[in-house]
Amino acid sequence: MLTQSILRGACAGLFAGLIAGLFALAVAEPSIDTAIAIEEAAAGATTADLGSRSPGSGAESSAHSHSSEAHDHASEPAGSEVRSYASGANHSHGSDHSHASEDGLSRATQKLGLVVGMMLYGLSLGAMFGVAFAWSIGRVRGDAWIRAIKLGCVSIGALVLLPALSYPPNPPAVGDPSTVGSRTGLFLIVWISGLGIATCAWASLRRLERQGWSPPVAQVIAGLGVCTAVALLLFALPAGAGAPGFPADVLWTFRVSAVATQAVLFGGIAVLYGLLAMRERHPHALAG
């Protein structure tokens, strides 16, 4: 039973990752390209400013600027473009002197890697979803479709919306590469906390109903508990870094599209898993 559920989840996750990757290319990539252009313009302005201050050593200043830029880019984590739709962005410039010459990967290659990476990410998430679904049998009300949708809603709330409220994803040129480790740790803490809050809410709801509380009242009490726990968590977490000087419209578009991509991934896993589970148990359920 568990193995079958994991395989079903991995299959659902693989296809959901493909859908989410294509969605990210269509919706989120334009804002990444815009952010890259902004970063390039800022780097060019810095180089020009250094050259104007030291006219006698312009070549040396330019070389130092390019060397510093390459060092900064090298300090950024590889594969972070998938994490931004999972958190940030692995950026490359579109000009001839670009990330294609610094890390050997063109933007076209990185975009292909985004789709492949999302598929692998979805594969792993789908397998974990399969484990959660197997656990839900006998514990969460409803048939296979209803349980899958319920788990999908909880996943989006705990693993997408809560992290977005705590530490929203940032595009290229925003954030300090030296803080990647600490930011990743905080992101994992939010994920674990979100799952813990969801589990406690489920346990509290079941206990209240066993004690004779009507379902509406029990659900309201559990919901208030979730809101209180989320508020306390957001208050206790350290503040995230802002984005001073970065265009607000580009930042907002990127964050919305990144969160939407994650929602498509988690929601797609739930929907596809539910359809596969229903088809296996009722082969003619989807035929009309």
Q: Which single residue is written with the structure tokens 């201050």? A: 53
For 186-237, the pLDDT digits (tens) are 889 999 999 999 999 999 999 998 998 998 999 999 999 999 999 999 999 8
Instruction: Identify the pLDDT of residue 156.
Output: 95
Instruction: Identify the pLDDT of residue 78.
Output: 37
Give the per-residue SS3 of 164-212: HHHCCCCCCCCCCHHHHHHHHHHHHHHHHHHHHHHHHHHHHHHHHHHCC
Residue 242 pLDDT more than 90?
no
Least confident window among 22-26, 37-41, 132-136, 184-188: 37-41
Q: Which token pair is 272?
A: 């596809």
Residue 74 pLDDT more than 50?
no
Instruction: Identify the pLDDT of residue 84.
Output: 53
Residue 107 pLDDT more than 90?
no
CA 28 from chain centre, in angstroms, equals 12
Instruction: Identify the pLDDT of residue 42.
Output: 64
What distance in Å separates the CA atoms of residue 217 and residue 205, rounded to the nearest whole number?
A: 10
* Element housing 150 (H / E): helix 144-156
What distance in Å separates the CA atoms of residue 139 and residue 142, rounded to the nearest whole number?
A: 10
Residue 254 pLDDT more than 50?
yes
Residue 14 pLDDT more than 70?
yes
- Taking residues 157-173, what's their average pLDDT? 85
What distance in Å separates the CA atoms of residue 152 and residue 274, rounded to the nearest whole number?
A: 10
Q: Which token pair is 156?
A: 């989006």
Residue 129 pLDDT more than 90?
yes
276 vs 97, higher pLDDT? 276
- Taking residues 21-37, what's their average pLDDT? 82
Which residues contact residue 161 at a Cβ distance below 8 angstroms, ignoring those fewer than 6 apart?
A: 259
User: Residue 137 CB: number of other CB atoms within 10 A?
Assistant: 11
Instruction: Identify the pLDDT of residue 49.
Output: 57
- Taking residues 40-57, what's their average pLDDT? 58
Q: What confidence category does residue 82 fall into, taking pLDDT thresholds of 50, 70 and 90?
A: low
- Taking residues 152-174, what's their average pLDDT? 86
What distance in Å separates the CA atoms of residue 192 and residue 177, rounded to the nearest whole number?
A: 24
Q: What value does the mean pLDDT of the chain take?
A: 78
Q: Is 204 exposed, middle or buried (0-12, 13-18, 19+ CB in 10 A)?
A: middle
- Taking residues 135-142, what's their average pLDDT? 88
Residue 58 pLDDT more than 80?
no
Residue 7 pLDDT more than 80?
yes
Q: Which of 252, 88, 118, 259 is CA-nearest to residue 184?
A: 88
Share above pLDDT 90 across residues of the chain, in percent, rounded to a whole number: 43
Q: What confidence category does residue 71 fall into, taking pLDDT thresholds of 50, 70 and 90?
A: very low
